[in-house]
Amino acid sequence: MVADYLMLKKANCLNCYKCIRHCPVKAIRYSDDQAQIVDNDCILCGECFVSCPQNAKEIRRDVDKAKELIASGAPVYVSLAPSFVTDYGNATIGAMQKALGQLGFTATEETAVGATIVKNEYERMIAEHEQDVIISSCCNSINLLIQKHYPEALPYLAHVVSPMQAHSLDIKRRHPGAKTVFIGPCISKKEEAETYPGIVDCVLTFEELTEWFTDEHVMLEKIADENEDSRARLFPTTGGVIRTMNKSSHTYNYLAMDGVENCIGAIKDIIKGNLRNCFIEMSACVGSCIGGPAINEKNRTPISAYVMVDNYAGRGHFPVEHHPRESLTKEMPSLEIKAPHFAKEAIEEVLRQIGKVRPEDELNCGSCGYATCRDKAEAVLQGRATLTMCLPFLKEKAESFSDTVITNSADAILVLDDELRVQQINPAGCQLMNLRSAGDVLGEPVVRILDPLVFIEARKGKNLYNRPLYLAEYRRHVEQTVVYVKEYNILICNMRDVTAQERERTGKKAMSRITAETADQVIEKQLRTVQEIASLLGETAAETQIALTKLKESLIDD
């Protein structure tokens, strides 16, 4: 399974859809907010690994397996891909042999030796006109592309082992009992080695080797190389296979294609019968192997890397023994899984759910990773994509939701730009400030309708919340909030109309004042009445006392 070689760090995936935009066969499924690789479709080209900005994908590490092979006591030989010269700063094979020897390997040879064997087989096929159209089989990702997605082109694919396999077979023939470890820039070679067991025992990437060198404190030394019999070192460059071949046949055209998209175009032409008498060298990576996914990113520079390889390659060919045709034959069966067919009505229903009811609504912008909206709709029906992957739809939905909230808000809402010009005002705002429509003030300075001082202060970072304010011009009482959103350089003003509450509060206050005044008047009148009564009572008592005293004296005299 592909997941055995290329894995995902789930916590890192941020659903940017970049991996699916770069995946040439759309072998990515989105589920539970995570990108997942679809085994049946993946060709292990590594585009998702290279393009992921979050480093959410990682290549399986096999250093421990290589160490186990060394510890087993069997002689372990390294087949070193010729693109090493680009990843290790013009290091020579002599420098790499010494460094790898320090890690415990028995010996290191160049995979270019196997490339020479494969080149010879291609020349034989052309000389014997074995196939009208011959597609090179060096790149396992291209092989998988044809096996899984274009099986109609299998008759045109050279059923020849890859240079990695040819070299390992050659090593094991010369050194019975030996184990082989291929080291190169490719993820796909791990799958190839395990799909055809018994040939290559372990595959490491340059990235893994670099980490191993670091862990063991192994340094590369400067050792000169003057081997002129090393033409096959050109193999990792676009057209490198063809450059090593004897093109004496005048009946064949020699073409080189790199990049999966370009190769797909060529394969379609071949299937249609548009190409005849051609040898076509195909590489999944742009620039071929020197642009491989496991090449150090800073070294993935097509021009300078090409020059380095070109300068390192010799003029002659590695001396190799003849290998019988049968020993170099490789079975590559069809691995096609038929994609389900969906009715037009089902596709259009998905499109309708994302607001695409007319042909002109189908923007085909590719932001979801699919070339067309209909391709994306089919992916939704297959369970590989979700409706929310349509960014224009989400944007429109968010704007519609935002507009609905603002439009239907009972509070007045204004949005100003950094220069205090009105960018948006809702109906409640128009009503509050007696505007006929939003168009009366859009694009105008806010000073036309409101005091700008509070906005100037907010722009300086002094946001305002729920400030009571009387708008004399509009005879309105409001609670005003002004916030500056620095990320977007806008000011948002919310004003809640509290005029009715203020009038009610003022009315209650006036009523309380009148009631208090009335109470004071009543109390004063009552006190005055009491005093008058008391005064009258005092006069009556005095007169009564005088009268009784006189009566008493009169009675005594009698």
Q: How confident is the model at residue 146 (pLDDT cuts 50, 70, 90)?
A: very high
pLDDT tens-place string over residues 259-300: 999 999 999 999 999 999 999 999 999 999 999 998 887 767
| 214-220 own/partner pairs: CB under 8 Å, 24+ apart | 216/102, 216/103, 218/99, 218/102, 218/103, 219/99, 220/88, 220/89, 220/91, 220/95, 220/96, 220/99
Helix axes 188-195, 163-174, angle to 10 degrees: 50
pLDDT tens-place string over residues 326-383: 999 999 999 998 888 899 899 989 888 888 888 888 888 888 888 899 998 898 898 8
Instruction: Kindly report which listed range (125-129, 302-306, 463-467, 478-482) carries the lowest average pLDDT score.
Output: 302-306
> For the CA atoms of the chain, what is the radius of gyration?
44
pLDDT tens-place string over residues 31-51: 777 888 899 999 999 998 888
d(CA 120, CA 137): 13
Domain ranges of the chain: 1-60, 61-328, 339-408, 410-497, 505-536
Under 8 Å CB-to-CB from 373, ≥6 apart: which residues?
351, 354, 356, 362, 363, 364, 390
Residue 72 clears pLDDT 90, i.e. is over it: yes
pLDDT of residue 534: 67
Mean residue pLDDT of the chain comes to 90
pLDDT tens-place string over residues 483-504: 999 888 999 999 999 999 988 8
pLDDT of residue 541: 63
How many of the other CB atoms lie within 10 Å of CB of 463?
16
d(CA 230, CA 89): 19
Helix residue ranges, H only, 423-497: 427-432, 453-459
Residue with token string 């970049």: 18
Residue with token string 């005092």: 538
Residue 513 clears pLDDT 90, i.e. is over it: no
pLDDT tens-place string over residues 514-537: 777 776 777 777 778 767 776 776
Structural contact between residues 349 and 343, judged by C-beta atoms closer than 8 angstroms: no
d(CA 179, CA 168): 8
The segment with the largest mean pLDDT, out of 45-54, 174-183, 389-398, is 174-183
**Percent of the chain scoring above 90 in pLDDT:** 65
d(CA 424, CA 446): 11
Residue 406 clears pLDDT 60, i.e. is over it: yes
CATH number of 410-497: 3.30.450.20
Mean pLDDT on 12-34: 85
Residue 484 pairs in a beta bridge with 491
Q: How confident is the model at residue 555 (pLDDT cuts 50, 70, 90)?
A: low
* Residue 494, helix vs strand vs coil: strand
Residue 200 clears pLDDT 80, i.e. is over it: yes
User: Which structure tokens are listed for 227?
Assistant: 């081997």
What letters, b where the CB count within 10 A reaches 16 and e where it falls short, cover 321-356? eebeeeebebebeeeeeeeeebeeeebeebbeebeb
* Residue 77, helix vs strand vs coil: strand
pLDDT of residue 3: 65
φ and ψ of 425, to 5 deg: -145, 135
Residue 389 clears pLDDT 90, i.e. is over it: no
d(CA 145, CA 193): 17
Structural contact between residues 452 and 468, judged by C-beta atoms closer than 8 angstroms: no
pLDDT of residue 514: 76
Q: How far is CA 375 from the centre of its chain?
A: 19
pTM score: 0.74
What letters, b where the CB count within 10 A reaches 16 and e where it falls short, cover 467-487? eebebeebebbbbbbbebeee
d(CA 355, CA 294): 41
What letters, b where the CB count within 10 A reaches 16 and e where it falls short, cover 35-54? bbbbeebbbbbbbbbbbbee
CATH architecture assigned to 1-60:
2-Layer Sandwich (3.30)
